[in-house]
Amino acid sequence: MDGNIPLDLVRAELARRGLTGFVVPRADEHQGEYVAPSAQRLAWLTGFTGSAGLAVVLAARAAIFVDGRYTLQVRHEVDCHRFEPVHMVETPPARWLGEVLTAGDVLGFDPWLHTADQVDALAAACERAGARLERCAGNPIDAVWRDRPPPPAEPVVPHPLAHAGRSAAEKLADLAEALRAEKVDAVVLTDPASVAWLLNLRGTDVPHVPVALAFAVVDGDGGVALFLEPERLVPGALDGAVEVLPPSDFVRHLDRLAGKRVRVDSAMAPQAVLDRLAAAGARIDRGSDPTALPRACKNPVELAGARAAHRRDGAALARFLAWLDGRDGIDEMAAADRLEAFRAEGDLFRGLSFPTIAGSGPNGAIVHYRSSPASNRVPRPGELFLLDSGAQYLDGTTDVTRTIAVGEPGPEERHRFTLVLKGHIAIARAVFPAGTTGSQLDVLARRALWQAGLDYDHGTGHGVGSHLSVHEGPQRISKSGVAAVALKPGMVLSNEPGYYKPGAYGIRIENLVAVTEAPPPPGAERPLLGFETLTLAPIDRRLVEPSLLDPDERAWLDAYHARVRTEIGPLVDGETRAWLETATAPVG
Amino acid sequence: MDGNIPLDLVRAELARRGLTGFVVPRADEHQGEYVAPSAQRLAWLTGFTGSAGLAVVLAARAAIFVDGRYTLQVRHEVDCHRFEPVHMVETPPARWLGEVLTAGDVLGFDPWLHTADQVDALAAACERAGARLERCAGNPIDAVWRDRPPPPAEPVVPHPLAHAGRSAAEKLADLAEALRAEKVDAVVLTDPASVAWLLNLRGTDVPHVPVALAFAVVDGDGGVALFLEPERLVPGALDGAVEVLPPSDFVRHLDRLAGKRVRVDSAMAPQAVLDRLAAAGARIDRGSDPTALPRACKNPVELAGARAAHRRDGAALARFLAWLDGRDGIDEMAAADRLEAFRAEGDLFRGLSFPTIAGSGPNGAIVHYRSSPASNRVPRPGELFLLDSGAQYLDGTTDVTRTIAVGEPGPEERHRFTLVLKGHIAIARAVFPAGTTGSQLDVLARRALWQAGLDYDHGTGHGVGSHLSVHEGPQRISKSGVAAVALKPGMVLSNEPGYYKPGAYGIRIENLVAVTEAPPPPGAERPLLGFETLTLAPIDRRLVEPSLLDPDERAWLDAYHARVRTEIGPLVDGETRAWLETATAPVG
């Protein structure tokens, strides 16, 4: 046994602690999409670098659970003799544990890295097997992880009022009022995006999402304790009402909530927070993060910023598309780099909002594809090239997908592209009364595909932050009505139906939209909401079969393209502008 | 104080028991839509006869909670000096109690008449007020209700295999297998429709729903204990595998489930059942009623029965519509009686499936309208007449709404009728992949109305039983995605969008549909489901504005009418047939 292999080190540590096994999720304390190097325990232990996964280490066996996106990658990255790969949808970890554990086993977990719901599933699995689930004080991996990177220490900067639109003091006053109205004494914020939005702070602790990894506790008087190394804050980032305390004070601070009614978002908060509050004698109020809804409803300054950011982003994308058009031999990685370079020339650019997906031909059919040197390829004539990309600008976050014909597209590709476009237009044109959720609208994006016996296996739209995460709740457009919230003016969402033919091609047409009040038709009895499309970039007309569009759909497409031409044209060079004239000409 | 007034009798009984107050729901032990006379405690206490309501009796005040349907009726039926009427949606009983109760109060309730969720809400209200919630052993109303009617005692009859399609033994074997697969040792069935479906029994204990009010316990070996006075069963109604025990044995039987894992539908089961199981040491498995889904998916015999029943029902409705057309002076109640008489002439008729709604002019805008001598009126020329009716036949249950023009309809009525029709057709023509829920489809019924700034405040479709309740879960088509289940072949639902202009008129177009496999279009990748329309009756062409229909919609309407003519024509008299020719002619 080689004591230098992480798995062996962990097993030895578990044995020292009297544990039969241990669960290693990919998440950190904040349950975010990205984790800092210091929290990449799963990657250190297994080598797996995907965005979702979980390992279980037992004395005699170990498993790594990944979903369908990562079944190939896991075999490249992980020693599958040591870690048995398991499909986490077909065999959820709790079910696997229920079968593999035996009576008397003691399964450990780090209560900072699991939500209460996740712990419930583990506990049920242990109960079925007659095993015991045990909270670990101190993560066993941290105890044996030599050369563990230090935690993030970059500066935390203010998000200027000119982009935020509302001061932290105003947001805090509203939050305090909301807490009082719900008879809640305090809220524990564990989502770094909530903290960033509330206090108008931004950071660089993780890629793509401009936040600092921090907790905060806000009380009904608007008092805030922010848990962040005080020296990380640039001077003047906060006004005096916020008490800044080192992260190590967080748990002791929770003890001070004894007897108070404390709101915790049980879908996001670590079990350790619930445990500590319960031990302190706080009355836990499981509910939703009270900053989520006000954060989702962008204010007029944020919406103006989003429009400006989308014009610059559209100009960069138009330059790229014009550059790419007819140019041979550009592979996926080169295309992504070139697109990023065009974007980086724009004002207020702060990086990509997620890693670009550039999938040519069959790679386009892999929904969460990322080019690697091994998969990288040049699209061939007759193929489709799917590009899903976005950027962080100080005034807004973008996310846009265009599917491009390389050479002459086939009739099947045009047929299916046009069905996807019909769904995209149906969402863009939707009007609906207040109280309508995104899950109610989802079918509009799928109806044309369904009529042809086709569909796509992802949501139609996710919420998008304002210089925050490109994936933001609670708003969404999806089949599932679970926890669906009503769409409200100012919410920003993606509108991205697709179609994927495995081994052949992928199609997705994605614009961001903002929920707006729609003009009332004559005789209207109920106020209507609708969508304002924010994204400005040509939709490849060579892939549109006009005979499949009805007159209203053709009118929408032509009007959208006219708008792209008018708004983007003045921002680009002459060559791009000439290309744009053709790319945005009326169809049919 | 008059000791003969029910309220005073109840208050004296509460004082004897040391209770400060008592909650009187409308429900009986089975949480059904109708209650037997012996369980009409709310009506006895307050005079209120509506289908939903709840009273609270305190020492010094009392309140009756009703929803928007009954705000007028409650003032006619109830002495509002004694019972303060409260709108139960604006002020739910639990909130009212939280404000009215004071510390030290003891609020009683009958645990047989409330579900666990309802008890939780009452308990939270009491906790907020510092009061105590107390289960009553023996309902205090029963203790003082002189001349209380006896419980139902009518015969309970077999539902013939020729209509049920599957024997009780087959259904029991499937249920036992399902229980074993979920590692459940037994299930307590508290919904009389579940018992009726499982054992192929029918009764007449309540109006409109042909069930006997009974509990049953089924174990994983398929053993059944049915709690029903044995002498009520007609000979041969059951085969020998079912143990029939008097209802008084039910609670003692629950004690025998000690140590077993017992499924209880927590949305339906009385708190008393959960209490007793917990006290007995059973492991309670809160979940859904395992007979609900198989009951909802009608077998081929049931579907054939539904088609046959709908032909007879359509013939009766066509005779009625032909009779009504151009006939002056027919008031709402006379119309409803005449329609019932035509239906009663049909084979296998067993009564109405719900009280007919016959709303002329402004009465049509009241969604749950029932004509009374005070409200009864003759529709005037230019008005609409909304008729929502249905019947119980031994081979199927029907529910159909037609909105009829009386004289020459106005352009607004035609416009809005056509928008409702567009929604109806969108549901009728919908195709969708397996896994789709009714809540996903709901928007299709509303889209045309929404585009005009209009909507309706009820669901689009409810499930319908097979010679069982006309309102059956779990399938439905509604805005809410809460607890939405996937639509499956054989499910029967209503398709009933509407539009209501208060004080003026109501429009609803309702057909029943069955979920069926849809033929795959060329190139289809996913199996599709769709709807087969079961209801066969003309849709009033005088109210259709053909220019608002697109070609596919016109084709649907003409094809539907051709089918009505072909299937119903041979079943009606010559005069009706001649009328039908015109009523089903293609639209302009």
Q: What are the chain B neighbours of A431 within 8 Å (beta carbons)? A: 450-451
What's the pLDDT score for residue A232? 97
Instruction: Tell me what the mean pLDDT of segment B305-329 comes to.
Output: 97
Instruction: Tell me what the mean pLDDT of segment B532-559 comes to.
Output: 98
Q: Is the pLDDT of residue B230 over 60?
A: yes
* Residues in a beta bridge with B508: B498
Instruction: Tell me what the mean pLDDT of segment B315-333 comes to.
Output: 96
Question: Is B440 close to A439, i.e. CB distance below 8 A?
Answer: yes
Joined tokens for residue A241: 């009402």
Q: Which amino acid is at A511?
A: N
Q: Which amino acid is at B21?
A: G
Instruction: Tell me what the mean pLDDT of segment B435-447 comes to.
Output: 97
Joined tokens for residue B98: 């939280």
Query: In 3D, which of B155, B111, B104, B154 has the Cα closest to residue B131?
Result: B104
Instruction: Tell me what the mean pLDDT of segment A254-265 comes to.
Output: 96
Question: Is A443 close to B447, i.e. CB distance below 8 A?
Answer: no
Instruction: Tell me what the mean pLDDT of segment B395-404 comes to.
Output: 98
Q: Encode pLDDT of A160-190 as tens digits.
A: 999 999 999 999 999 999 999 988 999 999 9
What's the pLDDT score for residue A69? 85
Q: Encode pLDDT of A534-586 as tens digits.
A: 999 999 999 999 999 999 999 999 999 999 999 999 999 999 999 999 999 99
Task: Report residue B570's pLDDT band, with 50, 70 and 90 as the boundaries.
Answer: very high
Q: What are the chain B neighbours of A481 within 8 Å (beta carbons)? A: 437, 439-440, 480-482, 484
Q: Is the pLDDT of residue A240 over 80?
A: no
pTM, to two decimals: 0.94
Joined tokens for residue B140: 């205090």
Instruction: Tell me what the mean pLDDT of segment A426-437 comes to.
Output: 97
In A, minimum Cα distance to B415 occurs at: A523
Question: Is B528 close to A441, i.e. CB distance below 8 A?
Answer: no
Per DSSP, the three-state class of A469 is: coil
HSE-CB of B245 using CA atoms within 13 angstroms? 17
Task: Report residue B153's pLDDT band, with 50, 70 and 90 as the boundaries.
Answer: very high
CB A475 within 8 A of CB A493: yes
The C-alpha atoms of residue B451 and residue B453 are separated, in whole angstroms, by 6
**Which of B440, B443, B455 has the CB atom closest to A479's CB atom?**
B440
* Cis bond before residue A155 (omega within 30° of 0): no
Q: What are the chain B neighbours of A455 within 8 Å (beta carbons)? A: 433, 525-526
Q: Which amino acid is at B116?
A: A
CA distance B419 to chain A (A): 13
Task: Report residue A241's pLDDT band, with 50, 70 and 90 as the boundaries.
Answer: confident
Q: Encode pLDDT of B231-276 as tens digits.
A: 999 998 887 689 999 999 999 999 999 999 999 998 999 999 999 9
pLDDT > 70 in chain A, percent: 99
Q: What angle do CA A542, A548, A553 make, to 5 degrees?
A: 85
* Beta strands, E only, B413-527: 431-433, 461-463, 472-477, 492-495, 498-501, 505-508, 511-518
What's the pLDDT score for residue B585? 98
Q: Is the pLDDT of residue A345 over 90?
A: yes
- Helix axis angle for A551-568 and A411-428, nearest 10°, is 80
Q: What are the chain B neighbours of A444 within 8 Å (beta carbons)? A: 443, 447
pLDDT > 70 in chain B, percent: 99
Question: Is A451 close to B521, i.e. CB distance below 8 A?
Answer: yes
Per DSSP, the three-state class of A475 is: strand
What domains lie within chain B, and their CATH numbers?
A: 6-144 (3.40.350.10), 157-294 (3.40.350.10), 297-574 (3.90.230.10)
Q: Is the pLDDT of residue B486 over 60?
A: yes
Matching residue, tokens 């790969």: A85
With an 8 Å Cβ cutoff, the interface of chain A facing chain B consists of 412, 431-433, 436-437, 439-444, 447, 450-455, 479-482, 484, 520-521, 523-528
Instruction: Tell me what the mean pLDDT of segment A455-472 comes to.
Output: 97
Q: Is the pLDDT of residue A2 over 70?
A: no
In B, minimum Cα distance to A520 occurs at: B453
The C-alpha atoms of residue A61 and residue B241 are separated, in whole angstroms, by 48
Q: Encode pLDDT of A55-65 as tens digits.
A: 999 999 999 99
Element (H, E) at B357: strand B357-360
**Which of B439, B443, B528 has the CB atom closest to A444's CB atom?**
B443
Query: In 3D, which of B369, B381, B450 has the Cα closest to residue A518?
Result: B450
What's the pLDDT score for residue B72? 85
Q: Is the pLDDT of residue A295 over 70?
A: yes
Q: Is the pLDDT of residue B375 over 90?
A: yes
Q: Which amino acid is at B563?
A: R
pLDDT > 90 in chain B, percent: 93
Q: Which of A443, A480, A517 to mutate to test the interface with B (most CBs of B within 10 A)?
A: A443
* Beta strands, E only, A342-410: 349-352, 357-360, 384-389, 391-393, 396-397, 400-405
Between the CA of residue B492 and those of A255, A333, B298, B512, what are the distances in Å? 55, 53, 8, 7
* Residues in a beta bridge with B225: B217, B243
What's the pLDDT score for residue A68? 85
The C-alpha atoms of residue A454 and residue B524 are separated, in whole angstroms, by 6
Joined tokens for residue B366: 């009241």
Helices (H), B200-288: 250-255, 271-280
HSE-CB of A28 using CA atoms within 13 angstroms? 22
What's the pLDDT score for residue B378? 98
The C-alpha atoms of residue B431 and residue B528 are separated, in whole angstroms, by 6
**B345 CB neighbour count, 10 Å cutoff:** 11
CB A208 within 8 A of CB A328: no
CA B346 and chain centroid, separation: 23
What's the pLDDT score for residue A3? 53
Question: Is B453 close to A525, i.e. CB distance below 8 A?
Answer: yes
Task: Report residue A222's pLDDT band, with 50, 70 and 90 as the boundaries.
Answer: confident
Task: Report residue A1's pLDDT band, with 50, 70 and 90 as the boundaries.
Answer: very low
The C-alpha atoms of residue B35 and residue A32 are separated, in whole angstroms, by 52
What's the pLDDT score for residue B3? 53
Instruction: Tell me what the mean pLDDT of segment B416-440 comes to.
Output: 97
In terms of DSSP bridges, do strands A62-66 and A84-87 run parallel, antiparallel, or are they unpaired?
parallel
Q: Encode pLDDT of B165-212 as tens digits.
A: 999 999 999 999 999 998 899 999 999 999 999 999 999 999 999 999
Q: Encode pLDDT of A141-152 as tens digits.
A: 999 999 999 999
**Which of A447, A482, A526 has the CB atom closest to B481's CB atom?**
A482
